[in-house]
């Protein structure tokens, strides 16, 4: 079903905390369930031929959460990148990260570097994990890299246009075709601002741990203008 028209899907994975609270569990249980949901979605995305999947794992603002929750999430990232995402590597997924390294624990950086290195030669699909990430911050980092190239004479003023500027971002990814936000809110929340410029946006009330591969299929079908059963999703679409 997927062709050249759809290369890049991005997901703001919201609602883990509410999912846990609704079950009388700690927020951490919601993050664990969210990471299991993400693994299923990512494996499915490769199976259906999606080339790029970006996910918002941790925003720079998420550091304002309790120390307990931040630590839990960081340990979960380590566990996921070093063990559980083995199946993604077996499927030929290349893992990359967007975001600032400064402020992240050494053991988290080590797990990130490890999976990037292990998956560097994979070509079936790319999973871009946005961690310690902010979209405006990424644009500032890109501007600084561009500035360095101007100063060193590697590029001249006027050489770079809105497409080639992409290479200064944390990763040189194609524009986002579909943005999905789970968990009811209808905001972009400083996520991949440069890459979202023409994205179709889908907002669903479903909390991220309950978001399934079938729901992704429904959204993709809608993007292609195909009628499907819409898997019970109540989403709104705003085409740009
Ligand atoms: C937002 O839900 C979610 C997060 C801040 C973390 C997202 C992380 C995962 C899905 C875990 C796994 C990710 C990787 C890459 C291994 P929330 O806590 O803001 O939910 P709430 O709005 O209901 O409180």
User: How far, in Å, CA of 158 to CA of 114, rounded?
Assistant: 38
Instruction: Flag whether 142 is in a domain.
Output: no
Instruction: Flag whether 166 is in a domain.
Output: no
pLDDT 10s digits, 136-153: 999 999 999 999 999 999
Domain count, the chain: 1
Instruction: Flag whether 144 is in a domain.
Output: no
pLDDT recorded at residue 231: 54
Question: Residue 234 pLDDT more than 90?
Answer: no
* C-alpha distances in Å from residue 150, one per residue of 59, 99, 141, 146: 30, 23, 14, 6
Centroid of ligand 1 to alpha carbon of 192 (angstroms): 17
Nearest C-alpha neighbor of 19 from the set 189, 200, 182, 217 = 182
State the CATH number of the domain containing residue 82.
3.40.1180.10
Instruction: Flag whether 37 is in a domain.
Output: yes
Look up 205 and say whether it is catalytic.
Answer: no
Instruction: Flag whether 153 is in a domain.
Output: no
Question: Residue 239 pLDDT more than 50?
Answer: no
Give percent above pLDDT 70 in the chain: 94
Instruction: Flag whether 12 is in a domain.
Output: yes
Strand order in the sheet with 125-133: 93-98, 125-133, 52-59, 8-12, 178-181, 200-204, 235-238
Instruction: Flag whether 146 is in a domain.
Output: no
Centroid of ligand 1 to alpha carbon of 164 (angstroms): 32
How many residues are there in the chain? 240
pLDDT 10s digits, 151-210: 999 999 999 999 999 999 999 999 999 999 999 999 999 999 999 999 999 999 999 999
Could you list the residue range(s) of the whole structural domain that residue 56 is in? 8-134+174-239
Instruction: Flag whether 20 is in a domain.
Output: yes
28-32, 34-38, 102-106, 228-232: least confident range: 228-232
User: How far, in Å, CA of 12 to CA of 169, rounded?
Assistant: 19
Q: Which residues line ligand 1 (CB under 6 A)?
A: 13-18, 31, 34-35, 38, 55, 57-58, 62, 76-77, 80, 129, 183, 208
Question: Residue 235 pLDDT more than 60?
Answer: no
């Amino acid at each position: 079903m997927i062709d050249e028209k759809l290369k890049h899907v991005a997901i703001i994975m919201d609602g883990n905390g509410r999912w846990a609270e609704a079950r009388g569990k700690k927020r951490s249980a919601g993050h664990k369930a969210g990471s299991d949901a993400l693994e299923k979605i990512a494996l499915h995305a490769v199976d259906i031929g999606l080339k790029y999947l970006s996910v918002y794992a941790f925003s720079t603002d998420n550091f304002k959460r309790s120390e307990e929750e931040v630590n839990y999430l960081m340990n979960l990232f380590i566990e996921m990148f070093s063990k559980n995402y083995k199946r993604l590597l077996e499927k030929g997924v290349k893992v990359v990260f967007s975001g600032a390294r400064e402020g992240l624990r050494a053991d988290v950086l080590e797990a990130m570097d490890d999976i990037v290195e292990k998956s560097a030669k994979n070509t079936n699909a790319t999973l871009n994990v946005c961690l310690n990430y902010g979209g405006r911050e990424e644009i500032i980092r890109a501007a600084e890299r561009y500035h360095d190239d101007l100063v060193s004479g590697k590029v001249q003023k006027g050489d770079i246009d809105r497409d080639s500027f992409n290479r200064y971002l944390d990763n040189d990814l194609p524009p986002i075709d579909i943005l999905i936000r789970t968990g009811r809110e209808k905001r972009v929340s400083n996520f991949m601002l440069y890459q979202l410029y023409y994205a179709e946006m889908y907002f669903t009330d479903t909390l991220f741990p309950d978001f399934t591969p079938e729901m992704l299929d429904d959204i993709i079908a809608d993007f292609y203008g195909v009628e499907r059963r819409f898997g019970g999703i109540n989403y709104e679409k705003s085409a740009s």
